Amino acid sequence: MAPWRCDPYLWVHLAGLATVPLWIDLCLLGLAVGNPTLPELEIGVIVALGVLPVLVMQLRQPFYIFSLPGLALKPGALQDDQRRLLSQFQRWRLRLGALLVPVPLVWGLLKLYPLAFLARDLTPFTDWGRLGGVAIAALSFLMANLFLQIPIAVLQVLATPDRVMAKVVPYSTENVAADFTWIGLTVGKILPDLTNRQILDPTAPAVVKTPEPHQVASVETPSMESADSVAEAIVETESPGYAVEAPVAQDKALDVLISSEAFAGPVDPKDLESSVAADPILEDDATDDCRSLHHPELEESSENVTYLNDVDYPQSLPAFADIYPNVR
């Protein structure tokens, strides 16, 4: 919705449309007092007093929309959008609508006048007499016409397209008092501003929110003691029945250590070889305690087996390549 359509004065006066049925009921109660003596004259007086004042006002000096009963907003306190609304209330189509609005009200009055005697037992104005009842009916019809004219004008202004409203020239502040009608005192503010206009202060420093930097987890560089523990774990996880050569363990420990320090930065392989070679666990004498695997059943069956020396065989054993020529 455009900001100018959120003006509270427009919606307050548009809500006045709901009071029109109440004023019509009050007019009916006034007509129910006494017996009519001159029906045509009474209807003429009610129509003249109820329609002409409001109609003349809307044609010559439209109702000042930025006012409430007894109070009116100062013309100098009007904003540009509000002064554009005043320019729209001076359009010819609103004057044409003012001529057509009383037509349904007069038609309704002609229909209710013969039925007014049905509310004779309900009217509270019995003591006022017939003249007082006609005065109440004329005043009620005037208010019904007023509260119908203004909301119809507001609806016509709200139906204005945004592109048209943007081209409307704001009404002159000096001509507001002479071209519009209001009753009451002029004040600087009546209703709150609901258009959510933000006033920017050019002298105020601009506040820019900078995003917080992401926290990066630190990478710990493994020490030489951790490298030694990796080498020990590799040696201990080998099969217990086979001897592990020291150069092979050194190569494995070197590969693991290089892969673990890949995230920390470049590593000199010479320093790693010297640190692994200095480990006493990976020396040659560490393989003295290793023994070969023996199966229990093979040990029992091997007691009755006689081993022969090479000299006991009558001929030399065939070579492996002669038995399996296709194996490379």
3-state secondary structure of 190: coil
Evaluate whether residue 310 is within a structural domain: no
Domain end point (choices 187, 212, 234): 187
Please check whether residues 129 and 234 belong to one and the same domain: no
Evaluate whether residue 193 is within a structural domain: no
Residue entry with tokens 């004008």: 153
Please check whether residues 12 and 126 belong to one and the same domain: yes
Domain end point (choices 251, 269, 284): 284
Owning domain of residue 168 = 3-187
Helices 129-158 + 20-31 axis angle, to 10: 160
Please check whether residues 35 and 175 belong to one and the same domain: yes
b/e for 119-130, b at 16 or more Cβ within 10 A? beeebebeebeb
Evaluate whether residue 74 is within a structural domain: yes
Evaluate whether residue 210 is within a structural domain: no
Distance CA 173, CA 76 (A): 6
pLDDT digits (tens, 9 = 90+) for 252-306: 545 544 554 444 455 555 554 555 455 544 444 444 444 545 555 544 544 555 5
Question: What residues have CB less than 8 Å from 243, skipping those under 6 apart?
Answer: 287, 290
Give yes or no for residue 76 having a pLDDT over 70. Answer: yes
Evaluate whether residue 324 is within a structural domain: no
Evaluate whether residue 34 is within a structural domain: yes
Quick one: average pLDDT of 116-144? 92
Please check whether residues 180 and 241 belong to one and the same domain: no
Please check whether residues 96 and 180 belong to one and the same domain: yes
The domain total for the chain is 2
Please check whether residues 44 and 179 belong to one and the same domain: yes
Which tokens hold the place of 278?
């200095």
Please check whether residues 63 and 135 belong to one and the same domain: yes
Indicate yes or no: pTM above 0.85: no
